[in-house]
Amino acid sequence: MQFSLTKTSCWNTNEEKEKYKKLGFTFSNPYKPDLQRIIERPWKDTTGELSIEINTLEDLINFVKKYGDVVFDGFSIEIYDEERE
């Protein structure tokens, strides 16, 4: 089945950016080079619509093992990588 894919956080570290790029997420850095060094999470998620194919419970379990907690509502999967209200 195809599910839409999102992340909770909008801002990411260099390490997070590299991990999520493998799923198709895109990022931009709006800060000037001198500020990029001191800001902990300088990469803004600029991804449009993304989808992922999950066909079995095992696929979902493996996804969670690799990317962490998710919020699943039956039609979409949100990578829960930051607290939300």
Does residue 84 lie in a domain region?
no
Q: What is the pTM of this model?
A: 0.80
Query: What count of other Cβ atoms lies within 10 Å of the Cβ of residue 33?
Result: 7
- Structural domain including 19 reads 2-79
Number of domains composing the chain: 1
Residue 40 lies in a domain: yes
In a domain, 85, yes or no: no
pLDDT at 75: 92
pLDDT tens for the chain, 85 residues long, are 999 999 998 888 888 999 999 999 999 888 877 776 677 788 888 888 899 999 999 999 999 999 999 999 989 999 998 887 7
* List of residues 6+ apart from 48 with CB closer than 8 A: none
Helices (H) and strands (E) in the chain, counts: 3, 7
Position 50 in a domain: yes
Q: What phi and psi, each to the nearest 5 degrees, are found at residue 23?
A: -90, -10
